[in-house]
């Protein structure tokens, strides 16, 4: 079993400060060259902290965890739009990578993305967690050996994510996502989870049993994981 470090904070802003300190230290020691990024409301305070800071990412490559299938990068609901809005338009990076949900051959796009990941290597990967325990769009039942793939989103995930979509745009039911083994290849994993809705997933993590039904538990198989949460468990 891996060594999980739990950091208790009062709120998401304190969580963002913890991430900032870790990233700052890795940059100062020249240990951060490739950074895995995540989207969602959990990450907004993290990216806000970065954009308001002096952190220099100009020599850092990024890879995002996932992207909806069928959404143009210009769609306000795409993860490319989210990343540009919250980070990339405000901070300069060496190179940014997001799966192309508009690719004509999705399987080929997954292979291209995974190849790029493996060639670059990930120093740090940021993660959130879904209410059903998914990390990236690796839904319950996803295998430990999965690489970047086309994921079918569960009813639970569609229900949660529908709040971000206006009535005139249907939420995509598939997404391109890094797989479990893609994520686990990172040297360091930072998972953030705030609010009662994340309690069930974190309690499963605390139990220490690795099960595909709660993909978050795969992180026990990694030797450098930090979980930052405001929940008292």
- Rounded-to-10 torsion of CA 35, 130, 218, 141: -120
CA distances from 88 to 30, 60, 61, 96 (A): 21, 12, 12, 8
225-229 vs 4-8, strand pairing mode: parallel
Catalytic residue among 109, 114, 123, 134: 134
d(CA 96, CA 14): 26
Catalytic residue among 26, 66, 67, 109: 66
Quick one: how many helices (H) and strands (E) in the chain? 7, 10
DSSP 8-state secondary structure symbol assigned to residue 95? E
Is 167 a residue of the active site?
no
d(CA 84, CA 80): 6
Contacts of 116 (CB under 8 A, 6+ apart): 63, 97
Catalytic residue among 123, 139, 149, 230: 139
- In the three-class reduction of DSSP (H, G, I as helix; E, B as strand; rest coil), residue 37 is classed as strand
Is 134 a residue of the active site?
yes
> In sequence order, what are the beta bridge partners of 226?
5, 190
Catalytic residue among 97, 132, 138, 161: 132
Is 66 a residue of the active site?
yes
Q: Six-digit token pair at 209?
A: 């049993």
d(CA 178, CA 105): 17
d(CA 166, CA 70): 16
Active site residues: 66, 132, 134, 139
């Amino acid at each position: 079993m891996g060594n999980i470090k739990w950091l208790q904070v009062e709120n998401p802003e304190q969580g963002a400060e913890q991430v900032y300190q870790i990233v700052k230290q890795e940059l100062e020691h020249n240990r951060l060259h490739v950074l895995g990024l995540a989207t969602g409301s959990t990450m907004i305070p993290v990216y806000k902290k970065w954009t308001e800071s002096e952190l220099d990412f100009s020599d850092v490559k990024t890879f995002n965890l996932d992207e909806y299938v069928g959404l143009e990068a210009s769609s306000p609901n795409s993860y490319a739009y989210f990343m540009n809005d919250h980070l990339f338009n405000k901070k300069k990076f060496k190179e940014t990578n997001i799966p192309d949900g508009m690719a004509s051959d999705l399987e080929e796009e997954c292979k291209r993305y995974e190849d790029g990941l493996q060639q670059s290597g990930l120093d740090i990967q940021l993660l959130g967690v879904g209410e059903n325990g998914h990390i990236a769009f690796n839904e319950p039942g996803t295998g430990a050996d999965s690489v970047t793939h086309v994921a079918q989103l569960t009813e639970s995930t569609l229900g949660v994510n529908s709040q971000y979509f206006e009535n005139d745009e249907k939420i995509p039911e598939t997404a391109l996502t890094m797989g479990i083994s893609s994520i686990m290849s990172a040297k360091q994993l930072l998972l953030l989870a705030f609010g009662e809705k994340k309690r069930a997933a974190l309690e499963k993590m605390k139990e220490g049993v690795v099960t595909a039904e709660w993909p978050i538990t795969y992180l026990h198989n990694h030797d450098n994981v930090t979980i930052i949460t405001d929940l008292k468990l």
